[in-house]
Amino acid sequence: MTKEQPTTLDHLTTEGRNPASSAIDALSAIEIVRLMNDEDARVAAAVAAVAESIAQAVEVIAERLSQGGRLIYIGAGTS
């Protein structure tokens, strides 16, 4: 019997700290708002870069849901 290796998420950029917000606690309110807005603005380009993969996932999920399947998703906070 072989022992399973633990799954690591180190390679996923979504699971790391955002260097842009590492000192968010030292910023003023307006600087925090601008930083968050700047980071949010990057989302559209990131989604566009993988739009085909997202669409394929949506199709698979919709098919499974139509057959009585379930979708369970978990999220965490943002910077």
What is the mean predicted confidence (pLDDT) over 62-77? Answer: 89
pLDDT at 76 over 90: no
Q: Report how far residue 49's alpha carbon sits from residue 68's, in angstroms, rounded to the nearest whole number.
A: 31
Q: What is the pLDDT of residue 69?
A: 96
Q: What pTM value is reported for the model?
A: 0.61
CA distances to 14, 15, 48 from 9, in Å: 9, 7, 23
Tokens 């906070």, residue located:
77
The string of pLDDT tens digits covering residues 42-68 is: 989 999 999 999 999 999 999 999 999
Strand, helix or coil for residue 17: coil
